[in-house]
């Protein structure tokens, strides 16, 4: 949601516009519906902004070019307050002299009251946004302080909500000032130039050296200097780090779409997430965890908080963690956890799962858990993001940058990290599964090759998807760990192909959803391995028969050699054999490919589906 770029470099040569536009295009994946840029131009700041995609802004820049400049900011906006129009697009001007402009990510919750005060003072607003309020406030503060950093510092004191703000002022060329509270902002460190971005993708084409900021900090960049102060005015220092992926990792690498590339990245995503987690005897080592072994041994409840796809990874984790550790494990949507009265205490481990590490609902849940005294552990794919920083411990997934809005490789990496966590807790606590951890890790090591096998055998799935391009509804059924896979399959189809899709626990079928079955209704069924305990496999085979008898078209995902499903399946999609708990790492893949292909057949933009944002940074 909202992408932010800031740049300062040498004035002669003036490449601000190019750098900012490149940054914006790398941030497109975050989701947006309008875009704008501003550059310093002598005694004023010039802006161009347009509703719609970056192409519209590029066209506007063609019609009315901006001057070469060494200082610029840019923004992709995902509309919250005010529709996606040219006028509401950022940057917004503050004051009337055309010298100050500002961009913003987040929501200023008290903007109504602030706007009313400004209106009383005679300020004229040009947009419906909350952002314009901040622009006018900073301009007003600058009029008395004549210092952009101090003006920003004064204004953040009166703002409520979550925000990243970036401002430039014509009287301070070569300076961009940023402020952040509960919203992402990172610094890119160059030679004689510096950068600001919502995430490192904004400047990865120029530098891989970055600086992490804390909450409630203001950063001022010039070509030669980066200085940080707290909202309280005290000097602070960011934490430098090296970005370990390069620009190519955030490019399509020969694939038509990022999503396709990221599906193909999955064997690596899982392998890299497993890397370095075991000693030579196969026992888990977790040097990066910042919670002591004693504290982890004392954990008597695990609560997983996450949203969307990440929450389905959490649902898979519940089966594994309870099985291996015997610790009760709950999974809750982060936005629900936050607004009830959850029962957690010092012995509760609250595990958040988030690809971006910036999802506001998840961040708020983590803070709430922290306030209630729980231990917090973040499973995250983005180094230095807010959620891991606000957590007691972090377990990074190593999926690499995920650009497509629909999560694919991050999901498999999250599940993998959950297994690692479950096995580590089991190992620490002794118990029956402690000794089995090395064997499970060994099985996990084989999974990347098996994922590759699935990816290599998807031709028929693509054919089925193309054939089904006009389908109006698809159902997904699974049991046990197949249930969250069914949910994920349905979510992928909804968000990419805009088709009504529902995932159900197969056992729930007879309690209502079976009424949806009519002749020709396509139903994907995720069949557990024949080795599953409690006769689970047979029960799902019965479910397939029940829906087939009512005319459903059954698309069955089953293990190689599982012949029991064949008589009842219109299509059988095979995955290699793997232990039951690990199966989601394989059975999810055909559903991703199906959604991708069907959406492509409908001519839709699979990387940036309508209305969606990659990082949901507002509640
Ligand atoms: O960055 P996060 O993992 O916290 O994001 C959570 C969800 O917003 C995300 O998984 C969303 O559901 C995806 N669009 C699913 O493909």
pLDDT in tens, 583-616: 999 999 999 999 999 999 999 999 989 988 888 8
Does residue 530 contact residue 484 with C-beta atoms inside 8 Å?
A: no
pLDDT per residue as tens digits for the range 231-240: 999 999 988 9
Mean pLDDT confidence for 532-550: 93
For residue 1 the two structure tokens come to 């949601």
Q: Range with the lowest mean pLDDT among 188-202, 268-282, 535-549, 568-582?
A: 268-282
Q: What's the rounded mean pLDDT across residues 353-377? A: 96
Q: At 408, is the secondary structure helix, strand, or coil?
A: coil
User: Does residue 257 surpass a pLDDT of 80?
Assistant: yes
Q: Is the pLDDT of residue 247 over 80?
A: no
**CB of residue 617 inside a 6 A radius of ligand 1:** no
Distance 408 CA to ligand 1 centre (A): 10
Mean pLDDT calculated for residue range 205-225: 94
User: Residue 359: CB within 6 Å of ligand 1?
Assistant: yes
Segment 30-54 shows an average pLDDT of 93
pLDDT of 138 strictly over 90: yes
- Does ligand 1 come within 6 angstroms of the Cβ of 405? yes
State the pLDDT confidence band at 64, using cuts at 50, 70 and 90. very high
Whether the predicted pLDDT of 184 surpasses 90:
no
**Cα–Cα dist 592/488, whole Å:** 9
Q: Residue 475 C-alpha to ligand 1 middle, in angstroms?
A: 21
| Cβ 194 under 6 angstroms from ligand 1 | no
Separation of 172 CA from ligand 1 center, angstroms?
Answer: 39
| Architecture of domain 459-601 in this structure | 3-Layer(aba) Sandwich (3.40)
Q: Which atom of ligand 1 is nearest to the CA of 408?
A: 16
Active site residue 418: no
Distance from residue 615's CA to the centre of ligand 1 (Å): 7
pLDDT for res 319: 97
Whether the pLDDT of residue 289 is over 80: the answer is no
Under a CB-based contact definition with an 8 Å cutoff, are residues 461 and 590 in contact? yes
Rounded Cα–Cα distance for residues 175 and 190 (Å): 15
310 touches ligand 1 (CB under 6 Å): yes
The response to whether residue 406 sits with its C-beta less than 6 Å from ligand 1 reads yes
Compute the average pLDDT of residues 56-82: 93
Residue ranges of the alpha helices (H) in 242-385? Answer: 258-264, 266-274, 293-297, 308-325, 334-338, 360-371
Per-residue confidence band for 280, with pLDDT thresholds at 50, 70 and 90: confident
In terms of CATH, what superfamily is 259-456? Answer: Glucose-6-phosphate isomerase like protein; domain 1 (3.40.50.10490)
Average pLDDT of span 204-230: 95
Q: So what's the pLDDT on residue 78? A: 85
**Segment 341-349 mean pLDDT:** 94
Over residues 166-179, the mean pLDDT reads 97
Higher pLDDT among residues 162 and 123, named by residue = 123
Taking only the tens place, the pLDDT of each residue in 392-436 is 999 999 998 899 999 999 999 999 999 999 999 999 988 778 888
Establish whether domains 259-456 and 459-601 are of one fold.
yes
Say if pTM beats, i.e. exceeds, 0.75.
yes
Kindly tell me if the per-residue pLDDT of 144 is higher than 80.
yes
Tokens 């920083």 found at: 389
Nearest CA, atom 10, ligand 1 = 309
Q: Pull the structure tokens for residue 573.
A: 């999609």
How far, rounded to the nearest angstrom, does the alpha carbon of residue 335 sit from its chain's CA centroid?
15
Q: Of 265, 617, 576, 598, give the one whose Cα is nearest residue 408.
A: 265
pLDDT at 435: 86
Cβ-count burial of 126 within 10 angstroms (0-12 exposed, 13-18 middle, 19+ buried)? exposed
Q: What angle do CA 279, 397, 375 make, to 5 degrees?
A: 85
Q: What percent of the chain has pLDDT over 70?
A: 100
pLDDT of residue 98: 86
Q: Does the pLDDT at position 342 exceed 80?
A: yes
Say how far apart CA 77 and CA 56 lie, in whole Å.
13
150 vs 156: CA distance, rounded Å: 10
> Hey, which residues does 377 pair with through a beta bridge?
351, 393
- Tell me the CA–centroid distance for residue 274 and ligand 1, in Å: 22
Instruction: Give me the pLDDT at residue 207, please.
Output: 95
Half-sphere exposure of 56 (CA within 13 A, CB side): 15
- Could you count the other beta carbons within 10 Å of the beta carbon of residue 531? 12
426 vs 250: which has the higher pLDDT: 426
CATH of 3-249, one of 3.40.50.300, 3.30.2130.10, 1.20.120.1760, 3.60.20.10: 3.60.20.10
Pick the atom of ligand 1 nearest to 411's CA.
10
- Nearest ligand 1 atom to alpha carbon 355: 3
Lowest mean pLDDT among 244-248, 363-367, 437-441: 244-248
Quickly list DSSP for 121-170: TTPPPSSS-SHHHHHHHHHHHHHHH--HHHHHHHHHTT--EEEEEEEEET
From 304, 309, 380, give the residue whose CB has the most ligand 1 atoms within 8 Å, as the site to mutate. 309
Query: What local confidence, expressed as pLDDT, does residue 508 receive?
Result: 94
- Whether 66 is in the pocket of ligand 1, judged by its Cβ within 6 Å, is no
State yes or no: is 2 an active-site residue: yes
**Strand spans (E) along 384-464:** 393-396
Q: Rounded to whole angstroms, how far apart are CA atoms 143 and 303?
A: 50
Q: What is the pLDDT of residue 385?
A: 86
User: Cα-flanking dihedrals φ and ψ of residue 528, to 5°?
Assistant: -70, 160
Task: Indicate the top mutation candidate among 311, 355, 609 to test ligand 1's pocket, ranked by most ligand atoms within 8 A of CB.
Answer: 355
In the set 2, 307, 329, 418, the catalytic residue is 2
Atom of ligand 1 nearest to the CA of 407: 16
Q: Which helix (H) or strand (E) holds 417?
A: helix 409-429
Among the listed residues 261, 318, 450, 614, the single catalytic one is 614
Q: Where are the domains of the chain?
A: 3-249, 259-456, 459-601
Ligand 1 pocket residue status of 362, Cβ below 6 Å: yes
Per residue, the 3-state secondary structure of 538-590, as one string, reads HHHHHHHHHHHHCCCEEEEEEECCCHHHHHHCCEEEEECCCCHHHCHHHHHHH
Q: Residue 161: in which H helix or E strand, if any?
A: strand 161-169
Helix orientation angle between 131-145 and 111-120, rounded to the nearest 10 degrees: 50
Angle subtended at Cα 572 by Cα 570 and Cα 578, rounded to the nearest 5 degrees: 155
499 CA to middle of ligand 1, Å?
A: 18
pLDDT at 285 over 90: no
For residue 407, how far is its CA from the centre of ligand 1 (angstroms)? 6
Local structure of 34: helix, strand or coil: strand
């Amino acid at each position: 949601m909202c992408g932010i770029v800031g740049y300062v470099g040498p004035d002669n040569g003036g490449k601000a516009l190019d750098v900012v536009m490149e940054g914006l295009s790398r941030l497109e994946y975050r989701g947006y519906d309008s875009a704008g840029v501003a550059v310093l131009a002598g005694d004023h700041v010039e802006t161009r902004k347009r509703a719609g995609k970056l192409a519209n802004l590029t066209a506007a820049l063609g019609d009315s070019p901006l001057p070469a400049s060494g200082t610029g900011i840019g923004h992709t906006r995902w509309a919250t307050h005010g529709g996606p129009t040219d006028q509401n697009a950022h940057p917004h001007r503050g004051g009337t002299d055309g010298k100050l402009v500002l961009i913003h990510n987040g929501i200023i919750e008290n903007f109504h009251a602030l706007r009313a005060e400004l209106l009383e003072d005679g300020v004229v607003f040009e947009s419906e946004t909350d952002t314009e309020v901040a622009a006018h406030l900073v301009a007003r503060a600058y009029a008395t302080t004549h210092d952009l950093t101090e003006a920003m510092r004064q204004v953040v004191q009166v703002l409520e909500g979550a925000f990243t703000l970036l401002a430039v002022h014509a009287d301070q060329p070569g300076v961009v000032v940023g402020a952040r509270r509960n919203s992402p902002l990172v610094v890119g460190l160059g030679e004689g130039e510096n950068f600001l971005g919502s995430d490192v993708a904004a400047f990865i084409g120029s530098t891989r050296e970055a600086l992490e900021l804390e909450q409630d900090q203001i950063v001022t960049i010039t070509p030669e200097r980066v200085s940080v102060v707290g909202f309280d005015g005290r000097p602070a220092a960011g934490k430098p780090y090296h970005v370990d992926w390069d620009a190519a990792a955030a490019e399509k690498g020969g694939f038509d779409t990022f999503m396709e590339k990221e599906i193909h990245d999955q064997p690596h995503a899982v392998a890299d997430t497993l890397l370095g987690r075991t000693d030579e005897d196969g026992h888990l080592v977790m040097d990066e965890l910042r919670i002591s072994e004693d504290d982890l041994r004392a954990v008597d409840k695990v609560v997983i908080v996450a949203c969307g796809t990440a929450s389905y990874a959490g649902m898979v984790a519940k089966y594994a963690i309870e099985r291996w550790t015997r610790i009760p494990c709950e999974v809750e949507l982060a936005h629900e956890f936050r607004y009830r009265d959850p029962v957690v205490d010092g012995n509760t481990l609250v595990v958040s799962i988030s690809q971006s590490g910036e999802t506001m609902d998840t961040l708020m849940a983590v803070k709430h858990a922290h306030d209630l005294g729980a231990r917090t552990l973040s499973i995250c794919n983005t180094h230095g993001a807010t959620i891991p920083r606000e957590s007691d411990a972090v377990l990074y997934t190593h999926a690499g940058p995920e650009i497509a809005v629909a999560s694919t490789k991050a999901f498999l990496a999250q599940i993998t990290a959950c297994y690692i966590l479950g096995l580590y807790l089991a190992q620490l606590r002794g118990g029956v599964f402690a000794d089995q951890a090395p064997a499970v890790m060994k099985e996990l090591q084989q999974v990347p090759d098996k994922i590759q096998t699935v990816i290599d055998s998807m031709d028929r799935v693509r054919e089925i998807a193309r054939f089904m391009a006009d389908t109006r509804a698809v159902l997904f059924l699974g049991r046990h760990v197949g249930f969250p896979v069914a949910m994920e399959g349905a979510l992928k189809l909804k968000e990419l192909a805009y088709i009504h899709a529902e995932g159900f626990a197969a056992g729930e079928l007879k309690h209502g959803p079976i009424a949806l079955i009519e002749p020709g209704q396509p139903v994907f069924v995720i069949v557990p391995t024949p080795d599953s305990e409690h006769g689970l496999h047979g029960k799902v085979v019965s479910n397939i028969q029940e829906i087939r008898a009512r005319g459903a078209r059954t698309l069955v995902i089953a293990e190689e050699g599982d012949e029991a499903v064949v008589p009842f399946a219109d299509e059988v999609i095979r995955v290699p054999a793997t232990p039951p708990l690990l199966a989601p790492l394989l059975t999810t893949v055909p559903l991703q490919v199906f959604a991708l292909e069907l959406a492509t057949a409908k001519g839709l933009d699979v990387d940036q589906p309508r209305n969606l944002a990659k990082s949901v940074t507002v509640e």
